[in-house]
Structure 1
Amino acid sequence: MEWPKAFKGGFVQGLEEIRAYRTEQWSGIDPRVEPVAFHPGDDGSILVEVHQVVHDLAGAVLAEVHVGHRFTFSGGLIRAMELVAFP
């Protein structure tokens, strides 16, 4: 499995690396993601349009954006997630 390191760039791979990245990420920010729409791809992927609000741990808003999370699958399981910009 491959997952983007949204605020640092690059990707992490495998469950342990993803767990470590998420644990580190959530120790410094509070991201909230609300799905807005789902767009199935011709290749079997799903693009999820999300409204994302990121707060610091004191509650101040650091970012508020609409972005896409494209999920690809293998054997019925998530293989990767990719961040996609929306206009």
Structure 2
Amino acid sequence: MSDVERRLADLYAAFNRRDVPAVLAALAPDVLWPNGWEGGTVRGREAVAGYWRRQWAEIDPSVVPVGYEHEPDGRVAVAVRQVVRDMGGGVIADQVVTHVYRFDGDAVAEMEIRP
């Protein structure tokens, strides 16, 4: 596992623990992040944190990396198994999607979701 893959694996583990400070520390201050739940995008660490808190109040997502691909332009595509549960524990979605990360140094500058 490369250093960037390990950093991303740690990022997903922190997200799944709901450790917002740990995840935000890995993001650039003006990070551009997709709002996969409500639609659109959010910019900046605090906007990302607010989006996650709204999401976690309504649904319980878990995202686990299952593969990494380094793209020619320097981005890293991560295939993830995403399981989304309602607050009662029922499964709403169980699918593999791809998250693509662009970095600014060691910080995540942008993430996009591919089907």
Structure 2 length as normaliser, TM-score? 0.72
Q: Shift of the alpha carbon at 1:77?
A: 1.0
In 1: Cα distance, 2:53 partner to 2:92 partner: 19
- After the TM superposition, list the runs of 4 or more consecutive aligned residues in structure 1 that deviate by more than 6 angstroms: none
Is residue 29 of structure 2 the alignment partner of residue 27 of structure 1? no
Q: 1:4-19, aligned counterparts within 5 Å?
A: 4-19=34-49
SS at 1:54's partner residue?
A: strand
**CA shift for structure 1 position 76:** 2.3
Q: How many residues align?
A: 85
Which amino acid in 2 is paired with 1:66? V
- Aligned pairs (5 A) from 1:1-87: 1-85=31-115
State the Cα deviation string for residues 15-56 of structure 1 (Å, max 9, x = none).
110111111100111001111100001111100000110000
Could you say what the CA RMSD is over the residues aligned between the two structures, in angstroms?
A: 0.7
Q: For the residues of structure 2 that align with 1:59 and 1:76, how far apart are their CA atoms?
A: 35
* Structure 1 runs not aligned, ≥5 long: none
TM-score w.r.t. length of structure 1: 0.94
CA drift of 1:8 comes to: 1.3
